[in-house]
């Protein structure tokens, strides 16, 4: 049995992303380097021992859970073994994300001179897109007149809708006309007509941040964090933010409530009126 091929085949059948499939393959490869047995001879004890060794090496709870999910997928879903691996490791406490104020967002935009580069960064922020989603946008995914677009096969291989800001509609139309793009083209292409790399966009943001005098350690994802936090400031509900960002769980979106929490310090406690 070709283990890696079996994982890829079953992963594709379940419409897992290529990133998830590769992660599962790597985890299983590492497991079988230690346990040189036939897969059907692996026991639940072997798996527990393997995960405990990872914990002893101070691997994070998130990492151990990825290994656990990989092993469950292979042994339970592919081999059909009744392992009942109901083990859970505590996740690493999530740090509050770095965000930019609205004033810093304006300064960041102003520091970008190239019109295409500026539009990319504005769209990244204004729609709360992941950078991988931005570079894979195609003209056919956009409903500019109606003010929305679609992310195709985003994180978790899912489609979702995103908003197109009114202030960007005409800029996007002009960009498409100037670049002579058709509906099957990527929205953002280099001079060689290839889609932009994620690294290129990361460099644009870092360069603009330096020029704008922003001393925070920011990345492409900082704009997504900032977008979500600014939505909370506007009074958008947690459920709405979860849908807009494409989060699987409301707990993931909850962090933006915590980011906004310093604003809550202005609220008086009812005890003060007793």
Choosing from 72, 118, 224, 230, the catalytic residue is 224
Q: What is the DSSP letter of 77?
A: I
Is 258 annotated as catalytic? no
**88/94 Cα distance (integer angstroms):** 17
Residue with tokens 């958008």: 236
Choosing from 155, 169, 179, 195, the catalytic residue is 155
Is 117 annotated as catalytic? no
Residue 85: exposed, middle, or buried by beta-carbon count in 10 A (0-12, 13-18, 19+)?
middle
Choosing from 169, 195, 206, 221, the catalytic residue is 221
Do the beta carbons of residue 233 and residue 263 sit within 8 Å? yes
Choosing from 72, 118, 175, 247, the catalytic residue is 247
Is 130 annotated as catalytic? yes
**166/145 Cα distance (integer angstroms):** 9
Report residue 189 as tokens. Answer: 């292409």
Is 155 annotated as catalytic? yes
Choosing from 130, 175, 225, 230, the catalytic residue is 130
**223/123 Cα distance (integer angstroms):** 10
Q: What residues are annotated to the active site?
A: 130, 155, 221, 224, 247, 256
């Amino acid at each position: 049995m070709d283990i890696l091929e079996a994982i890829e085949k079953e992963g594709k059948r379940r419409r897992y992303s290529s990133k998830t499939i590769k992660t599962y393959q790597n985890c299983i490869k590492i497991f079988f380097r230690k346990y040189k047995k036939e897969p059907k001879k692996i026991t639940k004890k072997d798996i527990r021992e393997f995960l405990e060794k990872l914990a002893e090496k101070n691997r994070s709870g998130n990492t151990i859970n990825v290994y656990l999910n990989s092993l469950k997928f292979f042994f339970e879903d592919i081999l059909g073994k009744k392992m009942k691996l109901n083990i859970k490791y505590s996740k690493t406490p999530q740090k509050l994300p770095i965000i930019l104020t609205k004033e810093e967002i304006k300064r960041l935009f102003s520091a970008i001179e190239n019109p295409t580069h500026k539009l990319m960064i504005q769209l990244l922020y204004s729609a709360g897109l992941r950078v991988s989603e931005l570079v894979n946008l195609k003209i056919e995914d956009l409903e500019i007149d109606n003010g929305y677009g679609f992310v195709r096969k985003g994180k978790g291989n899912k489609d979702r809708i995103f908003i197109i800001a009114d202030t960007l509609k005409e800029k996007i139309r002009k960009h498409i006309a100037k670049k002579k793009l058709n509906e099957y083209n990527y929205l953002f292409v280099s001079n060689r007509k290839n889609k932009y790399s994620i690294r290129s966009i990361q460099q644009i943001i870092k360069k603009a941040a330096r020029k704008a005098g922003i001393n925070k350690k920011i990345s492409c994802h900082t704009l997504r964090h900032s977008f979500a936090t600014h939505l909370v400031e506007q009074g958008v509900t947690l459920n709405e933010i979860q849908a807009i960002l494409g989060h699987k769980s409301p707990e993931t979106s909850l962090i933006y409530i915590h980011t906004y929490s310093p604003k809550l310090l202005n609220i008086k406690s009812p005890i003060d009126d007793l």
